[in-house]
Structure 1
Amino acid sequence: MPEISVLMSVYNGEEFINESINSILNQTYKDFEFIIVNDGSTDRTQEIIESYDDNRIRLFNFEKNQGVGSALNFGLSKVRGKYVAKADSDDIFISTRLEEQKKFLDENDDIAVVGGLIEYFPHNKEVEESSRYKSFKSLIEVNKNKIINPKDIREKIYWYCCMNHTIMMIRTNVINKIGYIDIPMGTDYNLFYQLNKLGYKMAKINKVLAKMRISKTSITAKNKDYYYKQSLFSIKQEEINNLFKENNQVYIWGAGSMGKNLFYVLTANNLNIKGFIDNNKEKAKKRIERKEIYGPEIINRKGIKNIKIIIASQPGKFEIVKYLRGKGYKHLQDFLVYS
């Protein structure tokens, strides 16, 4: 019985799936099963997968699209290995990925999940020149790759998904305790978030193990920010509700589109925001949905007590956290990072 089960779900992936499958089949570690769940694809995905003559591939086809969470849970029910290695259908993996991650878990019994560093690459020249791709390279890739050790990951997982699902290898007996949920976005983040809350340790190998494709048609690109915020709320609901207890006055730090969409999500869940905070002085004294925008000095204003902060600023979250900690604020007790 193979010790590693590679798990992939795919929906209409004909354009890229050959490269991804080849990068798995050509791994230096050979003894694995490759579970692929074709989630109701309507293109040539099934035909392409069936063209491979490799007995390590175990293909399961859904007649209708059921969503990522359902497809992955089904795949988990078919796993026979000691470790599950996730692989997205449009990414490319270096040849030693499985070998290095298995060795790491074999030698570190206290670690439940091991990842690695990632490198984003553009699908074409148009994507390469887009502001979205440049943001992924200069901001997201950099911030994710500098968070490596278990202690840092344990804190930052509460902030955002600093682990990469496509490069995850996890102990099968651990992932079966959580599984996947069906939400519009973030089923991978929910997995890491819940594992973290249960005390499971995660780590990364300090080496690029996957190249992640950025394309115009990626799931992330097609979903709007508001729906992402809704998914984040379902994941972080317990920690958010804790900030609203007693007579706390809760402010959103970030008066841009992220902050606005967060406000709408919180309002829809009957949580009352006192106002907004933003570093941009031009926004001060203005309002969003009748809620005033303040500068950071509101935190020090006399007579105002029990101020709690939800940070909704992608580029500024690290500096905002530093500022709040300088004022004596404690993570999850006085503030949390939403995105």
Structure 2
Amino acid sequence: MKEALVSVIIPTYNSEATVLTSIHSVLNQTYQHLEIILVDDCSNDGTVALVKNLKNTRIRVYELSKNSGAATARNKGLEEVRGRFIAFLDSDDVWHPKKLALQMAFMKNKQIGFSFTSYERIVDHKNKNVVQVPSRMAYHDLLKNTIINCSTVIIDRQIVSEVRMPDLRTRQDTATWLSILKRGNHAYGLNIVLAEYNIRKDSLSAEKGKMAVQTWKMYRTQEKLSYWYAAFCFSFYAYNAIRKRVTNKR
């Protein structure tokens, strides 16, 4: 039986230093029935030229006319996908070679529509720790633990419909997963490290504060949680955010 097509959405913005490594980690998958939809968010470096020079028929490049953020770029990608399955990869992250094969087999065996995996968190190319994931998450679980990494997600469009990211500059991916889970779906975790999530050291402290603020805003404005339930969820979020940074260090 022919393998199902996986559409991989990669948003880029000034990503010339990392984008080819990310793309090759997709093209070198053992699971080969895939396409890449790369959406450039108005880069002013050589990102687009580098990708177009690959001249690979499995890669389609779309360029936004103005810088609009990752949510808009990913939504453009969602409009252009041809596959039954949607996967996401950020332009500075990397997949392990068997990522798609193992995750697709996991989804097929379990008959599930939304999966994610464990990953390695890498700061400044050297400080590493493994983030292990739970076997299943429902809406209220994700509110308290934003552990689903966008670059590990695969969604089956025949099971999960209406995948679209809200117009948020940050936390748009978590808000998307919440909207899917809120409709009664569950997200299933494959506890195998299949991706590398790369973070620049100089952006780490800013990321912590920004993500905390945006998480609170997401609770109150996007999810419309009461103040007290938002505070309750935020306390778990803060605890789990610290755990992600310090557990299983290498």
What TM-score bracket applies, with the shorter chain setting the length? 0.7 to 0.9
**Over alpha carbons, which structure has the higher Rg?**
1
Tell me the secondary structure at the aligned position of residue 74 of structure 2.
helix
Write out per-residue CA displacement over residues 124-164 of structure 1, whole angstroms, 9 at most, x where no aligned residue: 46xx4xxxx8xxx4xxx54xx1x4212x5554212131211
2:217 equivalent to 1:230: yes
Give the letter aligned to residue 121 of structure 2: Y
Residue 289 of structure 1: aligned partner: none
Tell me the secondary structure at the aligned position of residue 15 of structure 2.
coil
Residues 2 and 33, structure 1, Cα contact 8 Å, conserved in 2: no
> For the structure 1 residues 219 and 123, does the alpha-carbon distance in structure 2 shift closer, same or farther, using more than 3 Å as the test?
closer
Whole-Å separation in 2 of the counterparts to 1:174 and 1:64: 33
Choose the corresponding residue for 1:33, options 32, 35, 39: 35
Q: Percent identity?
A: 25
Write out per-residue CA displacement over residues 207-243 of structure 1, whole angstroms, 9 at most, x where no aligned residue: 1010110114659845734345323422331x326x5
Residue 162 of structure 1: aligned partner: 147
Unaligned runs of 5+ in 2: 242-250
2:228 equivalent to 1:312: no
Residue 246 of structure 2: aligned partner: none
> For the structure 1 residues 94 and 215, does the alpha-carbon distance in structure 2 shift closer, same or farther, using more than 3 Å as the test?
same
> For the structure 1 residues 310 and 59, does the alpha-carbon distance in structure 2 shift closer, same or farther, using more than 3 Å as the test?
closer
Whole-Å separation in 1 of the counterparts to 2:218 and 2:204: 14
Residue 148 of structure 1: aligned partner: 134
> For the structure 1 residues 219 and 195, does the alpha-carbon distance in structure 2 shift closer, same or farther, using more than 3 Å as the test?
farther
**Aligned length, in residue pairs:** 237
RMSD: 2.8
Residues 4 and 83, structure 1, Cα contact 8 Å, conserved in 2: yes
Residues 39 and 65, structure 1, Cα contact 8 Å, conserved in 2: yes
TM-score, normalised with respect to structure 2: 0.83
Whole-Å separation in 1 of the counterparts to 2:152 and 2:199: 15
Give the letter aligned to residue 35 of structure 1: I
Tell me the secondary structure at the aligned position of residue 312 of structure 1.
helix
Give the letter aligned to residue 33 of structure 2: D
Whole-Å separation in 1 of the counterparts to 2:204 and 2:156: 27
Once the two structures are TM-superposed, the CA of residue 103 in structure 1 deviates from its matched residue by 1.5
Residue 190 of structure 1: aligned partner: 175
Whole-Å separation in 2 of the counterparts to 1:202 and 1:313: 19
Once the two structures are TM-superposed, the CA of residue 41 in structure 1 deviates from its matched residue by 0.7
Q: Structure 2 matches for 1:65-76, cutoff 5 A?
A: 65-76=67-78
Unaligned runs of 5+ in 1: 245-249, 253-308, 319-339
Q: Structure 2 matches for 1:8-157, cutoff 5 A?
A: 8-109=10-111, 111-124=112-125, 128=127, 137=129, 141-142=130-131, 145=132, 147-150=133-136, 152=137, 155-157=140-142
Residues 39 and 64, structure 1, Cα contact 8 Å, conserved in 2: yes
TM-score, normalised with respect to structure 1: 0.63
Once the two structures are TM-superposed, the CA of residue 112 in structure 1 deviates from its matched residue by 1.5
Once the two structures are TM-superposed, the CA of residue 67 in structure 1 deviates from its matched residue by 1.3
Whole-Å separation in 2 of the counterparts to 1:112 and 1:55: 28
Write out per-residue CA displacement over residues 173-193 of structure 1, whole angstroms, 9 at most, x where no aligned residue: 455414101113111001111
Residue 240 of structure 1: aligned partner: 226
Give the letter aligned to residue 193 of structure 1: L
Residue 321 of structure 1: aligned partner: none
